[in-house]
Amino acid sequence: MEKIREITNKIQPLGKEWFIKTQKRLDNLTKPLGSLGQLEEIAKHLVAITGKENPSTKNKVIFTLAGDHGVAEEGVSAYPKEVTPQMVYNFINGGAGINVLAKHIGARIIVVDIGVAEDINVVHPSTPNKVSGFQGGELKIKKINYGTKNFTKGPAMTKEETIRAIETGIELVEEEIRNSDVHLLGTGDMGIGNTTSASAITAIITGHPVEEVTGRGTGIDEKLLENKIAVIKKVIAVNHPNPKDGIDILSKVGGFEIGGLTGIILAGAAHKIPVVIDGFISGAAALIACNLQPATCNYLLAGHCSQEPGHKIQLNWLGLKPILNLDLRLGEGTGACLAMNLIEASIKILTEMATFESAGVSKRGE
């Protein structure tokens, strides 16, 4: 826990002076006051997070963490667990949605096996299946175990595994920082069964009924949805997680990838790097991170609001306004990636747009 305590102690509230100073600067640009709406709010937020008047958005890194869930054997997903490693290979070879979008915005993808139920045997993207012209993800093997336990029968992870998962996420960010500057972090996930875990976490932390936070995940039918809700209720009853203890919640109903994303979020906040969270799974990790250190919420930007009903509940609890609302539910980091495009635009407005004085334009009332 020492590494986690060290990181959480570094996370401080944002300075209000940055918001005030940046608002004055925005108000002096050649536009009506507040006319660029949320773009202006995003720009102020980035200045306050980084403590820099002209923050960069050049180096964008998206972490896509993969892990399997033992609860998948309870029939909570439309897909078998074999899809998790298959999609990891797809990420590496450049064929997934996140690969296309990351190439579009100029972001790097780091794919992490943190708990896939089988060994990933590719160190470098394999040539036979590589999609021509697309950006493959960089693979890192940080496997803690071969998937979580079926948490209808007891905790998903041991406390030691839970701590390792969070610390692994912290280490991933700090490895990148040692190699080069990181200006924007994005979170993504892959793991069959992980919306069941995210739903349980959301119900426990927000206090909303399981029925309100549980959605169709990979597209299950009504019968499977009813089963999924029953499974989540059983999980909570069997494990009795403490809603005030993020480690306990994560250990009992979480996943390795959710733990890793929790660490990424905490490390980003500690190092004053804006963290763009993706959808429902990333939202669950954000709930855990903010449970451990409430000031973490200040460093987050919500990339989008997904189709999962629990995601809106998460964002409301976190106090975050989504940048996009495109009915996405893919995961992988796709929503965070798309939002980065607008985040970068907000900073270009702040740093490249002319002022009334420099453009020789009369201000309102003059």
The total domain count for the chain is 1
Tokens of 358: 């420099």
> Domain for residue 241, yes or no?
yes
pLDDT at 133 (0 to 100): 54
The strand order across the sheet containing 108-115 reads: 138-141, 108-115, 60-67, 184-190, 275-277, 300-302
- Residue among 268, 96, 126, 289 nearest 186 (CA): 268
CATH number for the domain that contains residue 162: 3.40.50.10210
> CB atoms < 10 A from the CB of 6, how many?
11
pTM of the model as a whole: 0.95
> Domain for residue 270, yes or no?
yes
Query: Tokens 């209720």 identify what position?
Result: 233
pLDDT tens track of the chain, all 366 residues? 899 999 999 999 999 999 999 999 999 999 999 999 999 999 999 999 999 999 999 999 999 999 999 999 999 998 899 999 999 999 999 999 999 999 999 999 999 999 999 999 865 444 445 555 556 789 999 999 999 999 999 999 999 999 999 999 999 999 999 999 999 999 999 999 999 999 999 999 999 999 999 999 888 899 999 999 999 999 999 999 999 999 999 999 999 999 999 999 999 999 999 999 999 999 999 999 999 999 999 999 999 999 999 999 999 999 999 999 999 999 999 999 999 999 999 999 999 999 998 988 988 765
Q: Are 112 and 174 in contact (CB under 8 A)?
A: no
Contacts of 96 (CB under 8 A, 6+ apart): 87, 90, 332
SS3 at position 132:
coil
Domain around 254: 56-343
> Domain for residue 225, yes or no?
yes
Residue 332 main-chain phi, psi, to 5 deg? 70, -15
pLDDT at 127 (0 to 100): 40
> Domain for residue 34, yes or no?
no
- Annotation marks residue 332 as catalytic: yes
pLDDT at 124 (0 to 100): 47
Q: Of 118, 332, 344, 357, which is the active-site residue?
A: 332
Query: What are the E-state strand segments in the chain?
Result: 60-67, 108-115, 138-141, 184-190, 275-277, 300-302
